[in-house]
Structure 1
Amino acid sequence: MEDDQWIFLSGEFVQKNEAKISVYDHGFLYGDGVFEGIRAYNGNIYRLNEHLVRLYESAKSIMLDIPYDFENMKELIAETVRKNGLRDAYVRVVVSRGVGNLGLDPKSCGTAQVVVIAEELALFPKELYETGLEIVSVATRRNRPDVLSPKVKSLNYLNNILVKMEANLANVPEALMMNNEGYVAEGSGDNIFLVKDKVLYTPPGYVGALEGITREAIIEIAEEEGYTIKEEPFTRHDVYVADEVFLTGTAAEVIAVVKVDGRVINDGMPGPETAYITRCFREKVATDGMQIYAQEAEIGG
């Protein structure tokens, strides 16, 4: 219930229905800000350090000063999860430029605004993790990396939203976007991996793919398990003829794709390599990160 959900809003915890920002906030007016989506599994905030490194790097890239240092931000996130009594949660950290005037100039803004939200979230229905997704490729192209780097996780997500809208029109849960050269970049909110002859392929950042935290975790897991991983450009043809296809993301975790643009991937069921990598991933999420309940941290340490 909304009355039971606490949100951290620039210095204090407030109830959800009291969490309000000014219409003059440049995050609202212009999408001027950065964010991170983070997961907690059984009281462990997964790869919190890695997420915050990306948050602070995104902020530095757009010359946005976050009014809390790294360690304080970690504790704010942990306390938001604890205050809501959650063990498994999706955490959204938003840093906006703050309140300014109606002009574009960020110099009119005061202190940046920090919002931390924690709640339960399931991006896809549970059954789709067992049967796999059908997806389509769409006309909307990925923003050019030389115009706006995909390494900046900014509040302006209109490019991704347009992709999601095309997925909705096609009545599928996710879609693939290409870059302006026709190479596969990513989904509306997920990275993509192909498996071909037991080699894993994923698009490199320079084609427009966000170098996702879960993506990096999967690459590390695959290397530990002896897979060959290649970060190189590929086209829709490569997707169609892959042995397996899966998506990764903080919200999506790891989920198989079994049909793309009407082409059935292999036998139309989630493949063995995807299943194995998923099991390895799930073994790590409860320990790789920051344990936020003190008693368990003492027992584990």
Structure 2
Amino acid sequence: MISKPATTTAPSASTGDKPLIWVNGQLLPKSQAAVSVYDHGLLYGDGVFEGIRVYKGKIFKLKQHMDRLYACANKIHLDLEKFVSRDEMVRIQRTCVEANGIQDGYIRLVVTRGVGTLGLNPYLCPEPGVVCIADTISLYKPEMYQKGMRVVLANRPKTPIACLDPRIKSLNYLNNILAKCEAIHLSNKLGITKPEDQLLEVIMLNTEGHVTEGSGDNIFFVKDGVVYTPPSEAGILEGITRRFVMDTLCPACGVKVVEKHFTMAEFLDADEAFLTGSAAEMIAVREVLEHKDLEVTATHTISAGEGPITNALRTKFREIVTSDHVPED
């Protein structure tokens, strides 16, 4: 069923039924796109996914996303290649992008364990499920990119690698969601209404007290002209945009980048800070709030907006993704 050829003529759908979504071999209107209630992705969060950007009709860093998807599937003992080849997975994404007329947008590619029993045994799921959504996305308001974000130091630590390796981009995101809730609840309690001041992201520490990542973004800071980011061993997702910053943007801008473990004290002493992610792209951090039981205990200013190195890197990023040579490697 997964490898069933895509519908050659997209089904008619009203505006409210857009986008057309790939669900286990069928391209369906949004209102008809559904998975079985016995799918272990729904029952147990058993599966993996990718969030991928589309720029000028090109799928940004497609190969790297496919490498990570199949590697993560292997890490949860799901032999995805047995059911869906990489070429077929790429074809599914291009089909969705074309069917929905996406030039600049976002792909959410989800692979579930598949339909099984009400028990945990993953080997009772005969084949994985594949869902592909191609749509537009706007994660943060434009004002935040112009002025930088305010973020919250989460009290909830990152799940330790030994428990569930954050390098696996799994459907188990509750640790991240509960941390993000701290920021949202604090923002609501403070009555923040200005888009640029809202608290929508956090900084999560590991159980050793080192900085790891946000709820959905990787973390960087700049000190004395050098860019720093936590190593994967700190307990982070190895982000595709993070890698692009390190391998392409920093060299292009003549900026040194270093992976190292660091504490919040070091982070708060930064000259600049920024977050990266496929959905967020690149966004500066201007302020960090600490709290206890949703009572603010400290406020730390990093910078008065986007710093010069962050701006140079983000400008180079936008230059590349708006060019005629969007990288799909």
Q: TM-score range by the shorter chain?
A: over 0.9
Q: Distance in 2 between matches of 1:113 and 1:215?
A: 28
Residue pairs, 1:202-221, within 5 angstroms? 202-220=229-247, 221=249
- Tell me the TM-score normalised to structure 1 length: 0.94
Query: How many residues are matched?
Result: 290
Q: Could you say which residue in structure 2 is the equivalent of 1:258?
A: 286
Q: Could you say which residue in structure 2 is the equivalent of 1:289?
A: 327
Question: Which region of structure 1 is more displaced relative to structure 2, 58-67 or 7-16?
Answer: 58-67
Work out whether 1:14 is the aligned partner of 2:28: yes
Q: Could you say which residue in structure 1 is the equivalent of 2:126?
A: 110
* Secondary structure in 2 matching 1:21: coil
1:77 to 93, 101, 110: 93
Is the Cα–Cα contact under 8 Å of residues 210 and 264 in structure 2 kept in the other structure? yes
Q: Distance in 2 between matches of 1:29 and 1:242?
A: 42
Structure 2: unaligned runs, 5 residues or longer? 1-14, 188-198, 290-298
Is the Cα–Cα contact under 8 Å of residues 49 and 289 in structure 1 kept in the other structure? no
2:311 to 241, 250, 275: 275
Q: Distance in 1 between matches of 2:21 and 2:241?
A: 25
Deviations 1:54-107 (A, max 9, x none): 000000111113221111111110110110011011100000000111110011
- What's the % identity of the aligned pairs? 45
CA apart distance, 1:290:
4.0
* Secondary structure in 2 matching 1:27: helix
Q: Could you say which residue in structure 1 is the equivalent of 2:293?
A: none
Q: Distance in 2 between matches of 1:185 and 1:83?
A: 38
- Indicate the RMSD between aligned Cα atoms, in angstroms: 1.2
Is the Cα–Cα contact under 8 Å of residues 247 and 255 in structure 1 kept in the other structure? yes
Q: Could you say which residue in structure 2 is the equivalent of 1:35?
A: 49
CA apart distance, 1:147:
2.0
Residue pairs, 1:1-301, within 5 angstroms? 1-66=15-80, 67-171=83-187, 172-220=199-247, 221-261=249-289, 262-266=299-303, 268-286=304-322, 287-290=325-328
Q: Distance in 1 between matches of 2:33 and 2:224?
A: 51
Q: Could you say which residue in structure 2 is the equivalent of 1:296?
A: none
Structure 1: unaligned runs, 5 residues or longer? 292-301
Q: Distance in 1 between matches of 2:25 and 2:305?
A: 48
* Structure 1 residue identity aligned to 2:163: V
Q: Distance in 2 between matches of 1:162 and 1:176?
A: 12
Q: Could you say which residue in structure 2 is the equivalent of 1:294?
A: none
- Tell me the TM-score normalised to structure 2 length: 0.86
Deviations 1:125-169 (A, max 9, x none): 011100110111011110111222222100010011011111101
Q: Distance in 2 between matches of 1:56 and 1:80?
A: 20
Q: Distance in 2 between matches of 1:192 and 1:23?
A: 36
